[in-house]
Amino acid sequence: MNNAPVYYIHTLGCQMNAHDSERIAGVLEKDGYRKASQEQVKDNDVDLIVLNTCAVRENATTRMYGTLGRFAQLKRAKPHIQIAVGGCMAQKDRARITEQAPWVDAVFGTKNIGSLPELLHKASRTHHSQVEVATQLTQFPSELSTVRASKASAWVSISVGCNNTCTFCIVPAVRGKERDRRPGDILAEIEDCVSRGIKEVTLLGQNVNSYGYSTGDRYAFGKLLRACGQIEGLERVRFTSPHPAAFTDDVIAAMAQTPNVMPQLHMPLQSGSDRILRAMRRSYRTEKFMSILHKVREAIPHAQITTDIIVGFPGETEEDFQQTIDIVRQACFTSAFIFEYSPRPGTPAATMEQIDPRVSHERLERLLTIQEEISRNIMSSFVGREVEVLVTELRGHKDKQTQRISGRDRGGNLVHIGIPEGYEQPAIGDIITCTVTESSAHYLIADPDIRRGDTYELQH
């Protein structure tokens, strides 16, 4: 019988947080914990719950405090359960968390993941909340033990922190100044991933393409992409998120010339109005942004490009918003993450004159409708074409009815695949080349009919 304490990590926010949760899992398992099963999570049959938080938008903050409230009820029913809060909100609001949620056992910052087990042990001994939130990075999180969430794909951090001063963003305050990892350490981690059966890595950074700028090497990121192309067994390389101001032609060339770098680009626009970009303190203008997209599509015609957009930023007029609509129509993004602006205390934009929330919401709905139509048209163009899909989930869309599996094609599109009768069941990490038979705005479906001439080929 295994008496090891059982943990569950609830993650809010971005890919960086998802990757941090892998590190949290790593340090816990090294300390003797084991991951909860889905059944144990459902029944709250756990010894530790870790809430890894986000501070970028107000709804994430609201969700965090709402979740902590539910955890209080759980702790009253099961006093032995420990609660820990980490991530960006812990870094920013440590005093508020311990004041409003005194039942929390441990609060740890973005730079203190490795301290979590000791904080929990001390909380057990003292019966008091333990807090450790460092302001300076002393150890890259990548040096900690890791439990990868996927058997096929891995996040690999190449830098931490951010040197930009966007007026809406709290990230520099909670993640600190940008620090780059050594190229050799990054490549060694990727090689280790591949040796464990990982076929795809995503390079992570707050501004991934400014990698190397701290040492004066503006071409370091392109070199890193090309070096990834030399790693045997590494099928796919992606990266997120680049900053338009630091996007150089050599990166486009590296993407086009390195076969395992995927034809996918997530490039945050934020606004289509140059006036609003200045107010946001984004160090590029729409002409620069569109020129990058043009160059990428010229070098990689089949590239899938996605973006982030904020509507309702302080001072945004209807004219500004119309300019955003114009850029969205011109850019033809495969998809866009569109958000209503929400003020973050401690940022310059929070002190600016705010837009009526009803106006912001109406603009959000309008832009979503336009982007949905663009996405639907782009995705419909895949019907009848072959795509190469890396299997990441064995339970896909409407699995009970269809028994489909799921994965991503080379451009990053989500694809749900039906296995033709009589064919071998794929495993996570397999690659399937198949014919797309249906589409929606957000995913593709491949139910290939071999008798009709559709393609279905499985590669282990």
- Say which residue the tokens 């190469």 belong to: 388
Dig out the tokens for 261 from the structure: 């770098």
Which are the contacts of 222, defined by CB distance < 8 A and separation ≥ 6? 248, 250, 251, 253, 254
CA-CA distances (angstroms) from residue 133 to 80, 87, 110, 138? 25, 10, 8, 12
- In 3D space, the residue among 17, 2, 111 whose CA is nearest the CA of residue 64 turns out to be 17
Find residue 435's DSSP bridge partners.
Answer: 386
CA-CA distances (angstroms) from residue 86 to 49, 143, 391, 395? 11, 18, 31, 30
Question: Where does 332-455 show beta strands of DSSP type E?
Answer: 335-340, 386-393, 405-408, 414-417, 431-435, 438-439, 444-446
332 has binding-site annotation: no
- In 3D space, the residue among 199, 260, 236, 206 whose CA is nearest the CA of residue 19 turns out to be 206
54 has binding-site annotation: yes
The side-by-side arrangement of strands in the sheet containing 264-266 is 264-266, 304-311, 335-340
193 has binding-site annotation: no
- In 3D space, the residue among 283, 363, 284 whose CA is nearest the CA of residue 328 turns out to be 363
228 has binding-site annotation: no
Peptide bond between residue 241 and the one before it cis (omega within 30 degrees of 0): yes
**42 vs 391: CA distance, rounded Å:** 26
In the annotated binding site, the residues are 14, 54, 88, 162, 166, 169
As annotated, the binding site for [4Fe-4S] cluster includes 14, 54, 88, 162, 166, 169
